[in-house]
């Protein structure tokens, strides 16, 4: 069982206009769509599509339409309160492809909600192989909250993965080895932000930056590098995987699929290079699909990913 937390869920509205956006006027939409969004929800959705037992935990009133919509897709969802409605993020697309985003602020989290979320995760972790803490934190949450949750989850047998950015990621990195997860999944920019490096698109540079996090207590770092694939660094070794040939359609949510690919391979008992290979295959399958469409197993081409060993110190070949 993979349990995910989406701490700051959203409802993503997309409005496609029939004419250019003009301020102050009434305009017609060709289509309007609405979709529950968030990293944990995406990871659980990909797990569900692969037939892996999963449960998505999120702060939301249980009777909210977003919860009903997620349950209608078949997902096992746990809504934790007392919480306000999820934030609403609106994307306006004009006929020439120009996209304007209007992101809602999100409801502030109260200490009571944060305590209820942490307690529920500990309870759910009792029957989970992995707990994934994913995405941003709602307004009002202390940046160090993920590190606190990781420490609370240490009383359970579940392993813990974290995929976040900005202040929550920086706070997690600042307090290592306390709050160190079993798996951290930064992208190149996120890895650079916590290792004091510049751009880390280069696999060797990313691997040696990731090694500094492993030295500080993180069991494994899966650093995804967009079109350059990903590197995996752990006590066992250092590897780089190159993606299959990919016609990129939308990379939104590709990282969520990569993280799931890694967990799936782990649940299957595969080796570290095979876990990295499936992570990259899943990420690239997501990059080849429109919007946040989640990949299904037949779309994932692990056989076309090549994995090579890197030097554990320099990250070079
Ligand atoms: N241009 C691309 N070509 C092939 N594969 C890609 C491309 N961009 C992304 N991918 C695949 O997706 C994976 C994750 O990409 P990336 O590093 O951009 O994640 P991310 O920034 O965490 O994404 P997000 O947070 O939006 O989900 C990569 O490791 C790779 O497998
Ligand atoms: Mg990401």
To the nearest 10 degrees (0 to 180), the angle between helices 39-49 and 254-267 is 50
How confident is the model at residue 162, as a pLDDT? 98
CA-to-CA distance for 33 and 16, rounded, in angstroms?
9
How confident is the model at residue 272, as a pLDDT? 98
CATH class of 1-163: alpha beta
Q: What is the mean predicted confidence (pLDDT) over 75-99? A: 92
pLDDT at 316 over 90: no
How confident is the model at residue 37, as a pLDDT? 85
Ligand 1 centroid – CA 232 distance (Å): 14
Q: Which atom of ligand 1 is nearest to the CA of 253?
A: 27
pLDDT band at 311 (very low <50, low <70, confident <90, very high): confident
Q: Which atom of ligand 1 is nearest to the CA of 279?
A: 31
Ligand 2 centroid – CA 256 distance (Å): 6
CA-to-CA distance for 175 and 35, rounded, in angstroms?
35
pLDDT band at 231 (very low <50, low <70, confident <90, very high): very high
Ligand 1 centroid – CA 309 distance (Å): 20
CA-to-CA distance for 72 and 163, rounded, in angstroms?
26
Ligand 1 centroid – CA 246 distance (Å): 11
Q: What pTM does this model have?
A: 0.94
Nearest-CA residue for atom 19 of ligand 1? 255
Ligand nearest to the CA of 252: 1
Residue 297 · residue 277 · CB < 8 Å: no
CA-to-CA distance for 46 and 37, rounded, in angstroms?
13
How confident is the model at residue 250, as a pLDDT? 87
Ligand 2 centroid – CA 22 distance (Å): 33
Sign of torsion over alpha carbons 265, 262, 67, 126: positive
What is the CATH code for 182-317?
3.40.1190.20
pLDDT band at 107 (very low <50, low <70, confident <90, very high): confident
pLDDT band at 9 (very low <50, low <70, confident <90, very high): very high
Task: Spell out which residues line ligand 1, taking CB within 6 angstroms.
Answer: 187, 224-227, 229-230, 243, 246, 248, 251-256, 258, 280, 283-284, 287
pLDDT band at 205 (very low <50, low <70, confident <90, very high): very high
On average, the pLDDT of the chain sits at 94
Which residue in 201, 256, 266, 309 is the catalytic one?
Answer: 256
% of the chain surpassing 70 pLDDT: 98
How confident is the model at residue 103, as a pLDDT? 87
Nearest-CA residue for atom 23 of ligand 1? 255
24: left (phi over 0), alpha (psi -120 to 50) or beta: left
Q: Judge whether 256 counts as a catalytic residue.
A: yes
pLDDT at 33 over 70: yes
Q: Which atom of ligand 1 is nearest to the CA of 257?
A: 27
Sign of torsion over alpha carbons 133, 4, 124, 128: negative
| Domain map (residue ranges) of the chain | 1-163, 182-317
For ligand 1, mutation pick of 283, 300, 304 (most atoms within 8 Å of CB): 283
CA-to-CA distance for 300 and 246, rounded, in angstroms?
11
Ligand nearest to the CA of 230: 1
pLDDT at 317 over 80: no
Q: What is the mean predicted confidence (pLDDT) over 281-299? A: 94
pLDDT at 201 over 90: no
How confident is the model at residue 200, as a pLDDT? 77
Domains 1-163 and 182-317 belong to one CATH topology: yes
Q: Which atom of ligand 1 is nearest to the CA of 255?
A: 27
For ligand 1, mutation pick of 225, 226, 265 (most atoms within 8 Å of CB): 226
* pLDDT tens per residue, range 114-139: 999 999 999 999 999 999 999 999 99
* pLDDT tens per residue, range 246-286: 999 889 889 999 999 999 999 999 999 999 999 999 999 99
Task: Count other C-beta atoms under 10 Å from residue 46's C-beta.
Answer: 29
């Amino acid at each position: 069982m993979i349990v995910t937390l989406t701490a700051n869920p959203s409802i993503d509205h997309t409005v496609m206009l029939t004419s250019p956006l003009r301020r102050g006027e009434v305009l017609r939409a060709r289509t309007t769509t609405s979709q529950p969004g968030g990293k944990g929800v995406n990871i659980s959705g990909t797990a569900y599509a692969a037939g892996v037992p999963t449960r998505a935990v999120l702060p939301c009133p249980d009777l909210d339409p977003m919860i009903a919509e997620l349950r209608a897709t078949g997902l096992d969802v746990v809504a934790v309160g007392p919480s306000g409605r999820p934030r609403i993020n609106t994307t306006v697309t004009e006929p020439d492809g120009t996209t304007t985003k209007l992101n809602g602020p999100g409801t502030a989290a109260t200490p009571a909600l944060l305590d209820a979320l942490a307690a529920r995760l500990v309870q759910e972790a009792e029957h989970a192989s992995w707990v994934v803490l994913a995405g941003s934190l709602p307004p009002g949450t202390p940046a160090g909250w993920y590190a606190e949750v990781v420490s609370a989850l240490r009383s359970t047998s579940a392993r813990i993965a974290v995929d976040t950015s900005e202040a929550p990621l920086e706070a997690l990195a600042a307090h290592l080895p306390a709050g160190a997860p079993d798996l951290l999944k930064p992208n190149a920019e996120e890895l650079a932000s916590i290792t004091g490096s510049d751009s880390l698109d280069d696999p060797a540079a990313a691997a040696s930056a990731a090694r500094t996090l492993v030295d500080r207590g993180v069991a494994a770092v899966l650093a995804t590098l967009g079109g350059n694939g990903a590197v995996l660094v752990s006590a066992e070794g250092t590897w780089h995987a190159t993606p299959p040939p990919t016609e990129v359609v939308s990379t939104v949510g590709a990282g969520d699929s990569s993280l799931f690919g890694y967990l799936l391979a782990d649940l299957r008992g595969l080796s570290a290079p095979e876990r990295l290979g499936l992570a990259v295959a899943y990420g690239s399958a997501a990059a080849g699909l429109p919007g946040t469409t989640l990949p299904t197993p037949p779309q994932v081409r692990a056989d076309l990913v090549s994995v090579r060993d890197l030097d554990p110190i320099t990250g070079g070949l």
